[in-house]
Amino acid sequence: MLPKKEFFFSFITKFILGIILGFVISLAWFKYSSLGATTGFAQLCVQQNELSPEAQYTIDIILKEVQTKDCVAASHEIRNTDELYLSGTHIQDLTPLASFSHINKLYLADNQISDITPLASFTRLTTLELSNNQIRDINALSKMKRLKTLWMWNNQVKDLSPLSSLKSLNRLYVPFNQISDLNPLSSLKNIEVLILDNNKISDISSLSFLENLKGVSIANNLIQDIYALSKLTKLKTLIVPNNKISDISPLSKFISLKGLILDNNMVSNLEPLSSLQNIKLLYLHNNGITNIKPLSHLQNLSELELGNNKIIDLSPLSSLKQLKVLNVINNPLKSQICPVQPHSICQF
């Protein structure tokens, strides 16, 4: 049996060697996987005459992006970057990208992409930009567990269920799609910013589970009931114009709210807004408002939009000393006298 001292040093030596060996193996695997990825692209690049015209075009764009015509050199260049920008290049076929799964940030906006299946292996992505394409099926996104920011403006997406497992998602931008069901988002507890404008949404009850939301925009939808928002007490910005909202009582608890846009709805009672002491920007254009006394308590208001309502008396606003912009165009005012100084801030 070894003496205790020798045994101790033997153990430490083996332990350190084990760590070093593990590190070497990990490094070798990383280099091997990256090499395999870039070799895959290099092979496609060399043999691109056998590919479809769309795939050939994508390869040409990638070569242009890395500023070389050498396929192998391009492979090495891509292997050493974690970000690839191909927005606005008119690409359609993503097949040549399939081996770039080491990428962390990928920008593909403003193209003619309909099939994102080649992105299914991109499990290291943290940022993905897919806006202004022709995408319907987003199943390829379902394994992107590290994804934090996803842009998909102006596509043809209906089904958000592939996003339901993306627990790291922090910012989601999906306006101008064909979305009606928000249930798949209910499990995404880390979302702080959510943009859903110009879809077909009437039910927002699933948003009640997203208690970390700080900014929400659901403009131009079919929303009547906003009760589900009452639990979102961390909200700082809420944008819901062009809906069918009449009852805004759920907003009374939003003490952190700084910006609220409610243009083109059916609001008449502003009493729930009287408690929003931190609000700075308030848009209420084109509603059914007559009484603006509840706004007299909002001492931090700097911009107030009240155009196209039924307001007669502006005097309740005289206490709002921080106002920089006051729009009261198209109201049946008894007097066009600005209630605050300087008078130039008023737009009649």
The answer to whether residue 126 is domain-embedded is yes
For the segment 77-96, the average pLDDT, to the nearest whole number, is 95
Residue 141 is classified by DSSP as G
Whole-number percent of the chain with pLDDT over 90: 86
- Residue 4 pLDDT: 43
**Residue 251 within a domain:** yes
Handedness of CA 18, 24, 27, 32 (dihedral sign): negative
The tens digit of pLDDT for each residue in 269-311 reads 999 999 999 999 999 999 999 999 999 999 999 999 999 999 9
Mean pLDDT of 68-90: 94
Would you place residue 75 in the very low, low, confident or very high pLDDT band (cuts 50, 70, 90)?
confident
For residue range 330-344, list pLDDT tens digits in order.
Answer: 999 999 999 999 999
Q: Is 173 part of any domain? A: yes
The stretch 120-149 carries a mean pLDDT of 98
Report how many domains make up the chain.
1
Q: Is the residue at 10 inside a domain?
A: no
- Report yes or no on 4 lying in a domain: no
Residues 10-55: pLDDT tens digits? 544 444 445 444 444 344 333 433 444 445 899 999 999 999 999 9
Please tell me the least confidently modeled range out of 14-28, 159-173, 251-265.
14-28
Q: Are 106 and 94 in contact (CB under 8 A)?
A: no
What per-residue confidence (pLDDT) applies to 155? 99
Q: What gap in Å lies between CA 43 and CA 41, rounded to an integer?
A: 5
CATH number at residue 255: 3.80.10.10
Q: Is residue 36 part of a domain?
A: no
Decide if 306 is inside a domain: yes
- The answer as to whether 70 is a domain residue is no
12, 18, 20, 26: CA torsion to nearest 10:
-160
In DSSP notation, 157-206 reads: ----GGGTT-TT--EEE--SS-----GGGTT-TT--EEE--SS-----GG
Predicted TM-score of the model (pTM): 0.86
Task: Give the pLDDT confidence of 168-190 residue by residue, as tens digits.
Answer: 999 999 999 999 999 999 999 99
- Cα 341 to Cα 117: distance, rounded to the nearest angstrom: 59
Range of the domain at 197: 82-347
